[in-house]
């Protein structure tokens, strides 16, 4: 009887340990997110309709790795830091993005929300604006626009204001200010 009880406790501890390990693995590798609507510079733009100051291009991902399925088109322009890789991928035909449409300067863009996603594996964060672009034919395109990059040197020096934002297609000039953003959270 004593051996069966010890074996039962041993099996229970093994199963409990495996469950705890799986829970910790899930928590550490899950993508985390935080709303940025109330943080500068997003608080200036979220909830507003803006006019584009230059031409933009819409892309659609083929691999379905979009951050929010309700906003399925990637918005980009020639000043976006990722533009060279987008153009190169399009030229080689080996990219998972398909160019859908181009929109001229003056097109209206409504910015609805901003969310920061932090990859659970790499730990890198990406702030993304979500909204919709209205074409000249009246068709509405739900878009996402990755905006901002972390200055790693400032981050490693524990400077909170380590986020820099390139000139977005609705801005007349680039903003040279560094901003502090919250870390993305699990819940």
Comparison of pLDDT for 69 and 145, the residue scoring more: 145
Q: Are residues 17 and 93 in the same domain?
A: no
Note whether residue 73 is domain-resident: yes
Single out the residue of 174, 179, 117, 120 nearest to residue 146, CA to CA. 117
Instruction: Place 66 in a pLDDT band, splitting at 50, 70 and 90.
Output: low
Q: Are residues 70 and 7 in the same domain?
A: no
Q: Are residues 12 and 85 in the same domain?
A: no
Q: Are residues 129 and 44 in the same domain?
A: yes
Each residue of 4-45: pLDDT tens digit?
888 888 889 999 888 888 887 776 666 677 888 899 999 999
Containing structural domain, residue 12: 1-30
Q: Are residues 105 and 90 in the same domain?
A: yes
Query: What HEC string does the chain produce?
Result: CHHHHHHHHHHHHHHHHHHHHHHHHHHHHCCEEEECCCCCCHHHHCCCEEECCCCEEEEEECCCCCCCCCCCEEEECCCCCCHHHHHHHHHHCCCCEEEEEEECCCCEEEEEEEEEEECCCCCCEEEEEEEEEECCCCCEEEEEEECCEECHHHHHCCCCEEEECCCCCCCCCCCCCCEECCCCECC
Q: Are residues 52 and 91 in the same domain?
A: yes
Note whether residue 1 is domain-resident: yes
Q: Are residues 12 and 81 in the same domain?
A: no
Both tokens of 2, joined, read: 């004593």
Note whether residue 187 is domain-resident: no
Tell me the pLDDT of the chain averaged across its residues. Answer: 84
pLDDT at 160 over 80: yes
On whether the CB atoms of residues 184 and 168 are closer than 8 A, the answer is: no
Number of Cβ within a 10 Å radius of residue 40 = 16
Note whether residue 185 is domain-resident: no
Please give the model's pTM, rounded to 2 decimal places.
0.79
Q: Are residues 22 and 46 in the same domain?
A: no
Q: Are residues 61 and 8 in the same domain?
A: no
Q: Are residues 83 and 167 in the same domain?
A: yes
Note whether residue 186 is domain-resident: no
Q: Give the count of domains, the chain.
A: 2
């Amino acid at each position: 009887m004593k051996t069966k009880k010890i074996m039962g406790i041993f099996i229970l501890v093994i199963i409990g340990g495996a469950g705890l390990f799986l829970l910790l693995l899930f928590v550490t590798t899950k993508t985390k997110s935080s709303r940025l609507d109330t943080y500068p510079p997003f608080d200036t733009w979220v909830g507003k309709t803006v006019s584009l100051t230059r031409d933009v291009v819409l892309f659609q991902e083929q691999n379905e790795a979009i951050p929010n399925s309700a906003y399925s088109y990637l918005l980009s322009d020639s000043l976006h830091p990722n533009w060279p890789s987008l153009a190169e991928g399009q030229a080689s035909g080996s990219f998972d993005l398909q160019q859908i449409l181009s929109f001229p300067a003056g097109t209206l863009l409504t910015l609805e929300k901003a969310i920061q996603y932090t990859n659970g594996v790499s730990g890198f964060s990406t702030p993304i604006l979500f909204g919709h672009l209205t074409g000249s034919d009246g068709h509405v395109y739900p878009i996402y626009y990755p905006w901002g990059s972390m200055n790693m040197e400032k981050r490693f020096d524990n400077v909170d204001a380590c986020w820099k934002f390139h000139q977005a297609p609705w801005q007349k000039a680039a903003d040279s200010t560094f901003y502090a953003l919250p870390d993305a959270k699990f819940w």
